[in-house]
Amino acid sequence: MSTTTITTKLMVFKRFERVWHWSQMALIFTLLFSGAAIYGVHSIICFADAVTLHTWSSIILIALWLFAIFWLLTTGQWRHYMPTTENFVQVARFYAFGIFKGEHHPYRKTYRRKHNPLQAVTYLLVKIVIFPAIWLSGIAYLLISFGIGGFLNDFGLANIALVHIASAIAIVVFIIAHVYLLTTGHSFVEHVKPMITGYDDVELTDEELAYIKADEPDLLKDK
């Protein structure tokens, strides 16, 4: 027996999540800019200023990540990032072929899962593989540059730098793919708008809608 669903404007991205997203974006671009200066890709700012900017931006970003992890765990929002096999093949097929044929996206946001299966896997890999790699290699690099990372000598500074650069390139690839997907389907503005206002179209069952109206009415745009 199928369950009736209602498409409703719902607060999908909480205020902290939106602040986290845009702050993280600004810090990552600052790190990429200053990192490129450190490696001599450009000379818009001098080496010393680039190192200072890179160091402080990385410290602020690490603090933001730690707070975000705490927020995800304490609010239960981590569940949205857990991979699932449900509709995974359909979504993967859509991005591989269907998107170029003008097909409709096979996934609709629900109250319990705001990220489609492919998004969940991608975001999880970014959070538990790429971010920790660039985080740990950056800290190692910093400790060695301060002369207090002697215990890291066995890894080799060149190897640590390689991990750091490779992780940075992976983040650049993720950003390019992320921005590209924002230009597909709906308009770019429609894709970005939920991360500004917090509201997006979500499919709710009658029971979920009744629960939200009774217990969390502030989540509804039209109360």
- Mean of the pLDDT values across residues 36-57? 93
Q: What does the block give as tokens for 118? A: 């492919």
Question: What percent of the chain lies above the pLDDT cut of 70?
Answer: 96
* pLDDT at 64 exceeding the cut of 70: yes
Mean confidence (pLDDT) of the chain: 85
The whole-number pLDDT of residue 20 equals: 93
The whole-number pLDDT of residue 107 equals: 77
For 86, 210, 214, the CA distances from 207, given in Å and listed in that order, are 22, 5, 11
pLDDT (tens digit, 9 = 90+) per residue, 174-207? 999 888 877 776 667 777 888 999 898 888 888 8
* pLDDT at 19 exceeding the cut of 90: yes
Say what the pTM is. 0.83
Q: What DSSP letter does each residue of 125-169 carry, written as one string?
A: HIIIIIHHHHHHHHHHHHHHHTT--GGGTTT-HHHHHHHHHHHHH
| CATH value at residue 94 | 1.20.950.20
The whole-number pLDDT of residue 186 equals: 64
The whole-number pLDDT of residue 187 equals: 67
pLDDT (tens digit, 9 = 90+) per residue, 72-106? 999 888 888 887 777 788 888 887 777 777 777 77
202: three-class secondary structure by DSSP:
strand
Q: Which residue, 31, 37, 4, 45, is CA-closest to 131?
A: 31
Which phi and psi angles does 13 have, rounded to 5°? -110, 115
> Does residue 206 or residue 173 have the better pLDDT?
173
Confidence of residue 57 (pLDDT cuts 50, 70, 90): very high
The whole-number pLDDT of residue 163 equals: 92
Domain limits for position 124: 5-219
Number of domains in the chain: 1
